[in-house]
Amino acid sequence: MADRSTESWYPTAAYLYVLHLDGPALAWEYLRRHPDYRRDWLRRRRRSDAAQRWGLRLLEDPTLDARDAHPVWFPDHDAVLQLYPDADPPPTAVAFALWRIPGHKHLIHDGRRLLLVARWPGAYLRLALAPGLADGMAYVYAIRACDMPHARCQALTTSLNELTAAIGIPPVALTRPRPPLTPLLELHTLQALDATLAGASLREVAEGLFGVDAVADDWHADSALRARVRRLVRRGDALMRGGYRRLAQLPPVEQGRTALAAKRP
């Protein structure tokens, strides 16, 4: 059996940043690993419409992880805050102040509008800025009308609460409790996915995720550890091959106009 301990996927510490990613950022982590997406990125000068196939407005470099990449999903995730100039501001209106927004900021123009992504420990803020909005101008938030606006209002409230709580300068070091099970699941899933894409066997994946000693103690045909690793591998492959769309709140591929037309008599 080959020694995998020197390969990039083997140290779990390399995936710790995954614990702090939100849905859109996690979606990118799975999409950027798709071999066909990587192929489309290399051919991007010949295929200008390739981004729409993946639920993006623009193709993003798959060599960049979620800490450095800023994919623009289409349609927007519910957590994106749309900001417009206030047409009738009251005297107490709050002014838009770019430099009061905490965290590391990144501006993106997707060909139609300006997007601002701010990231600080444990939180993301995504803003879509209307063309007429300027620094120091009173503004309003907007969400799309829909039949069930409650979920979108909840996402809006969550983003606003995160922004309000972090307006001050974040401390240099943060002490956090043990991460919950869901982020740990994503960490293990991505590590298992990278291992299988690199050609590792199930046993080698298990050794990288849980240690050689744990595998030596509990690795046989019906072991719980083997079943757990198998589920992680299957889950990672499913998320890479379209499941990421749920994390980014994108409609499934089969629900496009072509599929709807095909159902008509």
SS3 263: helix
**Highest mean pLDDT of the ranges 5-14, 152-161, 253-262:** 5-14
Give 127-143 pLDDT, tens digit per residue: 999 999 999 999 998 87
Predicted confidence band of residue 177 (pLDDT cuts 50, 70, 90): low
Instruction: Pinpoint the alpha helices (H) of 166-223.
Output: 181-197, 202-210, 212-217
| Arithmetic mean of pLDDT over the chain | 85
Distance CA 105, CA 110 (A): 16
pLDDT at 116: 93
The position carrying tokens 């922004």 is 163
pLDDT at 173: 45
pLDDT at 145: 75
**Residue predicted with more confidence, 187 or 263:** 187
Its sign, for the CA torsion 249, 254, 260, 265, is negative
> What residues have CB less than 8 Å from 89, skipping those under 6 apart?
138
Q: Would you give the DSSP letter of residue 241?
A: I
Q: What residues does 81 pair with on adjacent strands?
A: 127
